[in-house]
């Protein structure tokens, strides 16, 4: 899994007025949970741009005043009107502890149902997985070349080494739906 480094500064003042002052100066107050202690810090808004505006999931090396933590994003808060990032919660991760994270799905191949006139739909762009940090891939690849018209792939039929899928087993990840044109062509043949 890809890693990004974020440079941050530990917060001294934790009140409402101090937080408002940080936000007004273009900084994002953040919190790191999951370790021995909770770490309050802030960073420039530009430091998080690479993390937010991408479909990829990254492991983050948080550098807070020279001390490094491995983390993932747990929660994001945006301003309701301006859509500006106002807060991030991070979860500290360790090499020997399993973590739960959403990883993007990547489809591979050309489905037989699409060749027959169907329309491919991706129902779930990300799947929740549980595993150790070293086993987490950049994306979960699903081969759809044998997927027929009107068929779908469910979470229960997928498996990846050293990863546990946490989504409902019967939830559909991707499917090939019958289009009106394909239905009309099938009726003319029959």
Enumerate the domain spans of the chain. 3-92, 99-189
97 and 135 in contact (C-beta within 8 Å)?
no
Residue 116 DSSP one-character state = T
93 Cβ contact partners less than 8 Å away, ≥ 6 residues apart: 34, 59, 70, 71, 72, 99, 133
Evaluated on CA atoms 23, 68, 14, 53, the torsion sign reads: positive
Distance of CA 102 to the CA centre of its chain: 4
153 - beta bridge partners?
A: 174
Tens-binned pLDDT, residue by residue, of the chain (190 aa): 788 888 988 988 888 888 888 888 889 999 999 888 889 998 988 888 888 878 788 888 888 888 899 998 888 888 899 888 889 999 999 888 998 889 999 999 998 888 888 899 999 999 999 998 888 888 999 999 998 888 999 999 998 999 999 999 999 999 998 877 767 766 776 5
CATH class of 99-189: mainly beta
| Closest C-alpha among 139, 138, 133, 46 to residue 91 | 133
Phi and psi torsions of 89, nearest 5°? -105, 130
Size of the chain, expressed as the number of residues it contains = 190
CATH assignment, 3-92: 2.40.240.10
- Give the predicted TM-score (pTM) of the model: 0.78
> Under 8 Å CB-to-CB from 15, ≥6 apart: which residues?
none
* First-to-last C-alpha distance (Å) of the chain: 50
């Amino acid at each position: 899994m890809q890693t990004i480094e974020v440079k941050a500064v530990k917060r001294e003042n934790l009140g409402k007025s101090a937080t408002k002052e940080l936000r007004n100066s273009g900084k994002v107050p953040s919190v790191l949970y999951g370790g021995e202690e909770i770490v309050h810090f802030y960073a420039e808004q530009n430091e998080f741009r690479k993390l937010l505006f991408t479909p990829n999931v990254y492991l983050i090396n948080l550098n807070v005043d020279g001390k490094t933590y491995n983390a993932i994003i747990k929660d994001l808060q945006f301003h309701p009107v301006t859509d500006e990032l106002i807060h991030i919660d991070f979860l500290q991760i360790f090499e020997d502890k399993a973590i739960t994270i959403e990883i993007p799905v990547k489809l591979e191949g050309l489905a037989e149902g699409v060749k027959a006139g169907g329309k491919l739909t991706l129902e779930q762009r990300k799947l929740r997985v549980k595993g150790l940090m070293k086993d987490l891939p950049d994306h979960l690849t699903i081969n759809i070349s044998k997927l027929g018209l009107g068929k779908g792939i469910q979470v229960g039929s997928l498996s990846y080494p050293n990863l546990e899928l946490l989504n409902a087993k019967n939830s559909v990840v991707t499917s090939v739906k019958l289009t009106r044109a394909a239905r009309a062509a099938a009726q003319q043949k029959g």
